[in-house]
Amino acid sequence: MLSDELSDASREVARQRIHTVGYVGVTLGVGLLVLLAVGYLRSSPSDPVAPSVTQSALESSDYSSKRRDQAKDLLKMFALDLEPRFDFANLSEWAPEALDAISSFKEEAVLAFSAGDYNQAIGVIRKAEVIAKETLVQWEENFSENYLASLSHFGNNESDVAGLKIDKALVFKPTDPAALKLRQRIDVLPKVRDLLSEARVAKIENNPRKEYRALSEILGVDPQRTELRSRIRALEAEISEENFNLLIQKGFGAVDDRDLRQARSYLNSALDIYPDRGEGKNLRDKVERLGEEVALETALAEAKQAISRDDWPGALVIFQKAIKSHPDDGYLVDQTMIASKIVSLSKAIAGFVAMHQRLSSRNVFLLAERALKEVSEIADRSSSLSVKSNKLRGFLGEYDRPVDVVVRSDNHTHISVRGVGEVGVVEKKSIRLKPGVYTFEGKRSGFRSRLLNVEIGLYQTSVDVELICNEQI
């Protein structure tokens, strides 16, 4: 609540003021103690024996050294403790005369110190301290006065006066988080006033949606108005109840019209509001039954269209989805099996065609022949499957056709074809091999053995191979 904010702000301002005044008091107290100590040293009784001229000079030198140290400490304390606060306190904006006086006194103190006039340096720097500390106290009071006044006027919805006061407060503390936040809230206060008025009218008109929009917009521009949250929650509950009942009514109407898409939309929206209400469960049962009926009709129509386009993978997906809801439908079971077989064989035939080089392997060749036999039973159902099958038959014919291979050697090297058989020790010999990759091996006693890989192309008519072991061991 704004009254709480005002109370909190007052306590915080008081705390800061006590801190600043306390700081000034402590600093002045420390300075006073230093002066008393110096005075005591100067007035302390001397040795009962009359001092000599030498002793008097020593005491004078010692006193001067102490005054020098005292002046040095005061200048240092001023530079480290007070001067850094001048920029933060923004003195150049609201107290330029005080800042000039402080700077002038400090400069005079530094010059006196440099000239060895330590008493003068101490006196002048203390004047600078007094002005600085009084100015800092005034700085804190000026900020506090204007900030609290602005907060009070803000609570009374007086945006103009509140704005003037917070602007004055920001002159003293331009970066104060609380003041900057209050400035933002004052900027939107006119809009907040209008929205509050709109919300009051909406409440009188019994229009919860309009009232909810106005209050929600207020929180959007001024989130600190937490007192509105309880009313917003009550309005949310009232609006949700109204929305839920309307959605349920429309959902049952859509089921009666067999408009599945609209019925599901109303159901989902209603369940988003109250997922466990009995009305929602009743509507869900009716929508699910309608969905099963429509899904089967739609699936059969879509599958028929897919088959007419020779899109058996698409038809299979449709059948598989439909059979989950109708596992006992005999027609769906049969069509799913046919579609699955056509898709599977089509992939297998396409794989054989794409990698036809593998048909040079006898095992792969036999697998391809077996696939073609299965295709013959259903090829008339898919034109693309027939085309792929015919292409595969062409490849099988080519890979089953032997090619003449002329093997040449030195009549000393024993030659064999791995996985096929022996060629023997020959000078020249013709053999026949089907297309594929073969490894010819040459051996000869006392010579290093040799391996030679030979690829017989699909459409080659003859191949020459020369293999001689001529590297002695």
- Spell out the domains of the chain, with CATH numbers in brackets: 2-187 (no CATH), 192-294 (1.25.40), 311-398 (no CATH), 403-466 (2.60.40.1120)
Do the beta carbons of residue 418 and residue 441 sit within 8 Å?
A: yes
d(CA 201, CA 126): 64
Task: Determine the angle formed by the axes of helices 208-221 and 189-204, rounding to 10 degrees.
Answer: 160
pTM over 0.75: no
Check if the beta carbon of residue 135 is closer than 8 Å to that of residue 4: no
According to DSSP, residue 352 is labeled H
Cα–Cα distances (Å) from 469 to 425, 428, 429, 444, in that order, read 11, 15, 17, 6
Query: The tokens of 468 are what?
Result: 């001689």
H helix intervals, 115-173: 118-155, 159-172
The structure tokens 């300075």 sit at 31
**Residue 22 vs residues 83, 125, 182, 263, 372: alpha-carbon distances, Å:** 18, 20, 27, 73, 102
What is the per-residue pLDDT for 17?
47
Res 241: pLDDT: 94
Segment (H or E) for 462: strand 462-466
Q: What is the pLDDT along the chain (473 residues), one digit of tens a residue?
A: 444 554 554 455 445 544 444 444 434 443 433 333 333 333 333 333 334 445 555 556 778 889 999 989 999 998 888 888 887 888 888 888 888 899 999 999 999 999 999 999 999 999 999 999 999 999 999 999 999 999 999 989 899 999 999 999 999 999 999 999 999 999 999 999 999 999 999 999 999 999 999 999 999 999 999 999 999 999 999 999 999 999 999 999 999 999 999 999 999 999 999 999 999 999 999 999 998 888 888 899 999 999 999 999 999 999 998 998 889 888 999 999 999 999 999 999 999 999 988 888 889 989 999 999 988 888 788 989 999 999 999 899 888 889 999 999 999 999 999 989 999 999 999 999 999 889 999 999 999 999 999 998 888 889 999 999 999 98
**What is the distance between the alpha carbons of residues 91 and 217, in angstroms, rounded to a whole number?**
40
Q: Strand, helix or coil at 456?
A: strand
Give whole-number Cα distances, 123 to 31, 71, 120, 130, 206, in Å.
11, 9, 5, 11, 76
Q: CB of 243 within 8 A of CB of 208?
A: no
pLDDT value at position 326? 87
Q: What share of the chain is helix, strand, coil (3-state, %, to 5)?
A: 75, 10, 15
